[in-house]
Structures are given as structure tokens and as C-alpha cells.
Amino acid sequence: MSKAMKKTVSAWALAGASALAIATGAIAADRPAELAPLGDPPIPADNPQTPEKIELGKMLFFDPRLSGNGAMPCSACHLPDAGWDFPDKISLGYPGTVHWRNSQTIVNSAYYGNLFWAGSSKSLEAQARSAAKGAVAGNGEDDMLEARLAFVPEYRERFKDVFGTEYPRLGHAWMAIAAFERTLVQTDTPFDNYMRGDDAALDEAQKRGLELFTGKAGCSQCHNGALLTNQKYYNLGVPPYDGWETDEIAQITFRYELYAKGSTEEMYRTFKDDPGAYFRAKDKNHLGKFRVPSLRYTKYTAPYMHNGMIETLEDVVEFYNQGGGENEFAKTKSELIKPLGLNDDEKADLVAFLESLTGERIVMEEPELPEYDVLPAASN
């Protein structure tokens, strides 16, 4: 591994470890040491939470004006009623395109050290910007988005109140959206309550599943800590997205992403699968690797994996039980992925435990959005 790659990997690990250290809550003495209940989310010093900022961020999260065509809000790909993600294999694409990866839930995203499947954004603020401006997502342009906000009197007032500027600034919009997203956390799941000492919070099947999770099934090798992820990157052998076989627009998106992210000509012409974390440092040892996602709130976020190719939690367990799958990047498939030998009862118990990592649905009504109006005339 090159010095540059070691530095990159170290930065990823440090960011993840920092977030998890802050996130960990108090743990009962007789609970698995590699797991923990979730504590309060980390709040960056340069973007403190205030009620006014959170309310502004909530409005902007649901406002389609922060997109190229004025019709693609953050909530288009992160639907509250659908787990705060998109209920299909691949996320919704900008009109005229399709996306190329599965949309991840916003719930508990405040705890990640890096955002997106390949860790391309280092904060929720950066993630909001990347999504709103991404060519197959929001496809927005800075000057256009900022001008739209300026033509909304209520936004001018709110931005001035929260950030002290005469007119809305786009960087502040991302800060407000991130502040709202940091309120979408769930720290009171049955698992959290059990880890804090409530023996009755899990039923017997879930307790057996927990024992499998930290033992025979080996899940906690990667899904550990309070967030249930070590935030590292692995190739599991997830098969390629099947839409690329029949959907011409999806094929165009795939080739575009290969080109835009810096593929070699050989890769562009021959690759049939998502190179994943390769793009972060152009290291072939990371082909096909993706960040380990949190297992929290997964009861409502099917389908699973970076391309949505696994439909249910039962299918996820069976995928691992079979020793993963096969894809184009066999050389980088993790050695941790091997057949588990679970029987039907054990698989059912493991699914029961996974469901304990989710509490009640987090839902909310969309806010009423303010209207456009003419800008006031400049005074002499």
C-alpha cells in the first residue's frame, strides 16, 4: 500500500473512531463489550445546533428549489415514510437520468465519519452540497440556487436571523440542512435499552440472535461499536446491479460516473461493476469495496447493499451464510466473508436481533414552504 493510501485509510479510520467514541452511551457490565448503546450525536464546533437553524434546515430539506430543475428536494431521495431513503434498488435520479447507487437512510447519519457508500464526503454539510449539485442527483448550480433563495422573503429573514447575512448564502444552507439531519437519530431501540441494562428489552429469540451476532455468525467483526459499523471498507462479493443489463439510461449513468470520477480508458471500456472505494485513492486494492453501513433502522430501509441487490433482512443473512457472492472484483473480496453454517432457526434468531436495532418509525409532516416574491429595490 502506498504512503498516500495509508494516509487516506488512516484518516477514514480516525474519523470513524472519533464519531463512535462520541456516540457511545453507558453500557451495562454484562453486555457484549464490542457493542454499545447509542449516545448523543457529535455536533461540530463550527456548526452548533439552534432551534432556528434546525427549523430552517427542515424547510430546506423539503424544498425542491435547491436543485437544478426546482423539483428535486433532499426528501425526493430520502422519504420519511420509506425509512428516510428511497425504496428501490437504485436511488431516484435527476429527471432524464437515473442514479447508480442505493440511497442510504438519513437516520443516524450524524454519527458517520464519512458519508456516501465510498466515503466521499467528510461531513453532513459536505454531503448536502454534493447531493444537491451531483449530476445524477440534484444537478444544481451555485448561483442559481442562491438566487432562488434570495427571492424568498421568509428565507432572507430566516438566514439573517440564523447566520447574520443580508441575503442567503448557499454554504449556510448546507449547514442548516446538516443541523436538521443531526436531529434524526434513534437512541431508544430495544437493543439500546437492553445494552443499558433492561433484560426485558429483548425477547429470547433476539438474545439468541445477539449471541450469534457476536459469536458464530461473526457479524460484530465489522458491525461493532454504538453505530454497529467499524466504518471500514470491504468487498463482499455483492453482484452487480442488474439494471445495467437492460436499462440504457442506467448504462449511460454508469459510464458517466466511471468517466467523471477518473477511470482509466481500460476501466471505462471494460468494467461491468461499480469500483466503489477505488475512486478515493485510485488504488486497485480497493476495487469493489464499500463502507460498512450501520445496521440501525434497517427494518425500514430495504432493499440492501450499495446497489440494492438484496431484498430483505432474511436475504441479507442468507447472503452472508452462503459466504457472500461473486462480482468482478474477486481479488479484493474480504477474507472475513466465508460460509457460516447457520441453520434455519439460527438465521431466524439473527433476523430477530437485527430487527431489535430499529425502534418506532421516525415520521413527520412536510413543512409549509414560503413563497417567492420580488426583491426590494435598492435604496440610495
With respect to residue 213, please indicate whether it lies within any of the assigned structural domains: yes
CATH number of the domain residue 117 falls in: 1.10.760.10
* Alpha-carbon gap, residue 140 to 136, rounded angstroms: 10
Last residue of a domain, one of 138, 163, 181: 181
Say if residue 177 is in the same domain as residue 193. Answer: no
Question: In sequence order, which residues have a C-beta less than 8 Å from that of residue 79 and are 6 or more positions away?
Answer: 85, 86, 87
Question: Which SS3 state, helix, strand or coil, does residue 121 take?
Answer: strand
What local confidence, expressed as pLDDT, does residue 7 receive?
A: 42
Question: b/e string for 126-135 if b means 16 or more Cβ within 10 A?
Answer: bbbbbbbbbe
With respect to residue 45, please indicate whether it lies within any of the assigned structural domains: no
The answer to whether the beta carbons of residues 291 and 114 sit under 8 Å apart is yes
Say if residue 59 is in the same domain as residue 166. Answer: yes
Say if residue 148 is in the same domain as residue 248. Answer: no
With respect to residue 2, please indicate whether it lies within any of the assigned structural domains: no
Between CA 129 and CA 122, with CA 19 as vertex, the angle to 5 degrees is 25
Say if residue 197 is in the same domain as residue 324. Answer: yes
Phi/psi of residue 291, each to 5°? -65, 140
- DSSP-assigned letter for residue 244: G
Say if residue 194 is in the same domain as residue 342. Answer: yes
Say if residue 266 is in the same domain as residue 253. Answer: yes
Q: Tell me, rounded to whole angstroms, the distance of Cα 35 from its chain centroid.
A: 20
Last residue of a domain, one of 181, 210, 233: 181
Say if residue 226 is in the same domain as residue 170. Answer: no
Kindly calculate the radius of gyration of the chain based on its CA atoms and give it in whole angstroms: 21
What local confidence, expressed as pLDDT, does residue 378 receive?
A: 64
Say if residue 69 is in the same domain as residue 204. Answer: no
With respect to residue 117, please indicate whether it lies within any of the assigned structural domains: yes
| pTM over 0.85, yes/no | yes
* Alpha-carbon gap, residue 270 to 273, rounded angstroms: 9
pLDDT by residue for the chain (380 residues), tens digit each? Answer: 444 444 444 444 444 444 444 456 678 888 999 999 999 999 999 999 999 999 999 999 999 999 999 999 999 999 999 999 999 999 999 999 999 999 999 999 999 999 999 999 999 999 999 999 999 999 999 999 999 999 999 999 999 999 999 999 999 999 999 999 999 999 999 999 999 999 999 999 999 999 999 999 999 999 999 999 999 999 999 999 999 999 999 999 999 999 999 888 999 999 999 999 999 989 999 999 999 999 999 999 999 999 999 999 999 999 999 999 999 999 999 999 999 999 999 999 999 999 999 999 999 999 999 999 988 876 55
Say if residue 206 is in the same domain as residue 97. Answer: no
Cell of 171: 454554504
What local confidence, expressed as pLDDT, does residue 15 receive?
A: 43
Q: Say which residue the cell 442567503 belongs to.
A: 168
Cβ count within 10 A of residue 331: 10
Say if residue 213 is in the same domain as residue 328. Answer: yes
With respect to residue 335, please indicate whether it lies within any of the assigned structural domains: yes
Q: For residue 65, give the nearest of 134, 130, 181, 151 by alpha carbon.
A: 151
* Alpha-carbon gap, residue 89 to 103, rounded angstroms: 8
Q: How many domains does the chain have?
A: 2
Say if residue 163 is in the same domain as residue 312. Answer: no
Binding-site positions for heme c read: 74, 77-78, 219, 222-223
* Alpha-carbon gap, residue 328 to 38, rounded angstroms: 36
With respect to residue 123, please indicate whether it lies within any of the assigned structural domains: yes
Say if residue 162 is in the same domain as residue 194. Answer: no
Binding-site positions read: 74, 77-78, 219, 222-223
Last residue of a domain, one of 181, 213, 236: 181
With respect to residue 279, please indicate whether it lies within any of the assigned structural domains: yes
What is the extent of the structural domain holding 64? Answer: 51-181
With respect to residue 327, please indicate whether it lies within any of the assigned structural domains: yes
Question: For the chain, how are helix, strand and coil distributed in percent, rounded to 5?
Answer: 45, 5, 50
